[in-house]
Amino acid sequence: MTVRYTEDHEWITVDGDIATVGITAHAAEQLGDVVFVELPDVGKTVSKGDEFAVVESVKAASEVYAPVDGEVVEVNGDLEAEPAKVNEDAAGAGWFVKFKLSDTSQLDGLMDEAAYNAHIA
């Protein structure tokens, strides 16, 4: 499965028309220990660039932005009880939401892993 990245440190994977989104390990590392994650309601419609979640750490609170247009079809409820999953497994168990994609062509504007690694270097 191909992973794409935004300049704001979100990652996205797509399976059919469902996209899973979270923050990158780099972002989680920069934040420090995550203590709270605020997720949107299922059914919320977001546009690319919209804030859809907030992640708070011992250092700061940061907004999480939608990498694509879509509708929230699932949220990772485990993060409410265990926000540290974001630090432990940002690209796996620490995922934030699943979107039903509105426009798959928006994926073309996102970075691949090599471009993202150059971006954070």
Give the integer Cα–Cα distance in Å for 86 and 26: 11
Q: Which of 78, 82, 100 is nearest to 21 (CA)?
A: 100
What confidence tens digit (pLDDT) does each residue in 93-119 have?
Answer: 999 999 999 999 999 999 999 999 999
Q: Which CATH class is domain 3-102?
A: mainly beta
Question: In the structure, what pLDDT confidence band is assigned to residue 19 with cuts at 50, 70 and 90?
Answer: very high
Specify the 3-state DSSP secondary structure of 117. helix
**Alpha-helical segments (H) within 14-63:** 25-31
For the chain, the domains span 3-102
Nearest residue to 90 via CA among 79, 74, 100, 75: 79
Alpha-carbon gap, residue 113 to 4, rounded angstroms: 7
- Taking only the tens place, the pLDDT of each residue in 21-61 is 999 999 999 999 999 999 999 999 999 999 999 999 999 99
SS3 label, residue 16: coil
User: Which amino acid appears at position 104 of this protein?
Assistant: T
Non-local (6+) Cβ contacts of 99 within 8 A are 18, 19, 21, 46, 66, 68, 70, 71, 72, 73
Q: What is the pTM of this model?
A: 0.95
